[in-house]
Chain A
């Protein structure tokens, strides 16, 4: 089993993702440079957080045209598991591998803190191992994490069971107070119709060891491990 972590100029959570995969979960992992056109023989892809291309124009707008993204789109079209975290989520939106768009946080401040998440779809390669009803403590760190979708798109996402995680309070209630950025419907992460492409603003790779404040992020990687083990 092998994972690839895409590296753009300006990615800064690539090593965190690598550490979570390789050192914490023992998965053979390699970095894939944005100019590569071949992903190699990987079973899963992580598009990490950061500020690809300085977030010039719009977050993710330039990265989506990097040569490697054609290979990522092909991999996703074949059903390969792809997880976009933070800037990786923004890139997936710009690449139209996921629907909707990202705006500046409603309060305009960069937000870096632990939030509570409730998983609403455990039928994805990255969430199947999250215990039912578990409230996850995972950090966010972003200035543009305000997920925007109009009414029609929200209905489509809800009908298709494509909302994967929402911001909630410590009781698991999805409240306006627990929304850190103004996202429509407290949405923190979504998936595509086939459920193999997942994007989320919170950083599971920053919460994989208790001494980091939480190990709840492990569920996402353990899910990927279990998914790939059963698929191969």
Chain B
């Protein structure tokens, strides 16, 4: 099953890439876009049909390697369960 992970910088942490991109968007006339935060999208292929198990594995992978929880938050999504 496929598991998706979205990693974002914590709210309290300045996001220089997001800030620079927002500035560029402002210059291009996107006045209604008031903030930009840039994160990472990671897709995992997990050999299980058990959603809870897949979530647990993805969370363990985030804690151990994929996210730096000092400065990043992660969100785990299972696309099949959210598509309807």
Interface contact A101-B71, CB-CB below 8 Å: yes
A215 at the interface (CB under 8 A from B): no
Which chain B residues numbered 59 to 76 have a C-beta less than 8 Å away from chain A?
Answer: 65-66, 68, 70-71
Whether B68 lies near A58 (C-beta < 8 A) is: yes
Of A103-111, A115-123, A194-202, A218-226, the one touching chain B = A103-111
Q: Are A108 and B16 in contact (CB under 8 A)?
A: yes
State A100–B20 Cα separation when bound (angstroms): 24
For the residues of B in contact with A, the DSSP-based class is loop
Total of A-B residue pairs, C-beta within 8 Å: 30
CA distance in complex: A54, B10 (Å): 24
Pick the contact of B16: A61, A103, A150 (CB < 8 A): A103
Instruction: Give, as a whole number of angstroms, the nearest-CB distance from A185 to chain B.
Output: 15
Instruction: Determine whether the beta carbon of A101 is less than 8 Å from that of B68.
Output: yes
Tell me whether B14 is interfacial, beta carbon within 8 Å. yes
Q: Which of B13, B20, B70, B71 contacts A108 (CB 8 A)?
A: B20
Q: Which residues of B contact A148 (CB under 8 A)?
A: 13, 71
| B17 interface residue per 8 A CB criterion | yes
Instruction: Note all chain B residues with C-beta closer than 8 A to A108.
Output: 16-17, 20
Note all chain B residues with C-beta closer than 8 A to A100.
70
A148 to B16, CA, bound (A): 13
In the assembled complex, which residues on chain A have CB atoms less than 8 Å from the CB atom of B71? 101, 103, 148
Interface set, chain B 1-53, CB cutoff 8 A to A: 12-14, 16-17, 20
Residues of A within 8 A of B13 (CB): 103, 148
Closest to A104 in B: B16
Chain B min CB distance to A149 (Å): 9
Give the 5 A-B CB pairs with smallest separation, nearest first. A101-B70, A101-B71, A104-B16, A108-B16, A108-B20
